[in-house]
Amino acid sequence: MTSTLTFTFRLAPPQPGEESIAWRQVIADHQSALSEARTLRILRCPAGWSGTLDELVQEGRATTSCEDPFAEGSAPGSTREHLLCDALIPCFDVSRLWLQVHLLEYGDVDSAYESPLRCQWLDAVPLKQLTNETCWFYPTEDGHYLASERACSVRFGPGRLAEALPISQAWSYDRGDLRLLWSLMADDEDLSCVGLTYQRRRIEFPRQSEVPAASATWSSFRVDGMADPSFQRLSTISTYG
């Protein structure tokens, strides 16, 4: 028997008696409340490259697929060397979403593919009431970079901790250990909500299916620590598949 903390969303607080609704309905509510996301990939441009984003688009190398435009003709594994970020960022509607916390008990098989034997409802809290923390997606080291973003509709599974709690702590829960992560994205003026943590462990919401949008947005930018501002957007182009 194993126990694990699990996190789901809903658009309204649970009413009296709803804490014991079937797990299947909990998942349905979760997937209805959290269904949109965007992919973000950030690549460091190869040393000595003097081209432009416009040229990459015209040559069919920067496309809606958001694949590495420098991969063709490069050595195997080169993408891993300059791929700095490859993230799926759920669209968290902080003003509306409620986070639910559950303690699930499973048998001795892989819990990712098994319905829980027991589900204990622990908490429900509006996202806007959680403690906020900041993080940073974009690079701060001087250099020339490319970024691609693409919206998508996603069916998310319930959230799990990316790093499991020690066995002695697996049953413990304290709302005060939840954090809502915010980041400045590129040269945006406002912070974006990009995720959650519990006891400084990232909460992952695994994608079960995904339908990408028909377009993607590419941007070229430089980071120069001696300049003000240090982030300098060079160009932005939308591509369509």
- Please say if the pLDDT value at position 81 is more than 80: no
User: Residue 74: CB partners within 8 Å, gap ≥ 6?
Assistant: 46
Residue 80 has pLDDT above 60, yes or no: yes
Question: Distance of CA 36 to CAs 39, 135, 151, Å?
Answer: 10, 21, 8
Distance, CA of 183 to CA of 197 (rounded, Å):
14
Cα distances (Å, whole numbers) of residue 40 to 147, 148, 229: 7, 6, 22
Read off the pLDDT of residues 116-131 as tens digits, 9 standing for 90 and up: 888 899 999 999 999 9
Tens of pLDDT, residues 57-72: 999 999 999 999 998 7
- With cut-offs at 50, 70 and 90, classify the pLDDT of residue 115: confident
The dihedral of CA 32, 34, 36, 41: what is its sign? negative
Predicted confidence (pLDDT) at residue 107 exceeds the cutoff of 80: no
157 pLDDT above the threshold of 70: yes
Distance from C-alpha of 42 to C-alpha of 40, rounded to nearest angstrom: 7
Band of pLDDT at residue 19, cut at 50, 70 and 90:
low
For residue 133, what are its two tokens? 């923390």
Return the number of other C-beta atoms located less than 10 Å from residue 127's C-beta.
Answer: 18
The model carries a pTM of 0.89
Is 33 a residue whose pLDDT tops 90?
yes
pLDDT of residue 112: 56
pLDDT digits (tens, 9 = 90+) for 1-11: 688 899 999 99
Say if residue 116 is preceded by a cis peptide, omega within 30 of 0. no
Residues 6+ apart with CB under 8 A from 95: 128
- Cα separation, 138 vs 231, whole angstroms: 9
Supply the pLDDT for residue 110: 55
Alpha carbons 100 and 12: distance in angstroms, whole number:
10
Furthest C-alpha separation in the chain: 64
All structural domains of the chain with their residue ranges? 39-90+128-240
pLDDT at residue number 114: 66
- Which pLDDT does position 169 carry in this prediction? 63
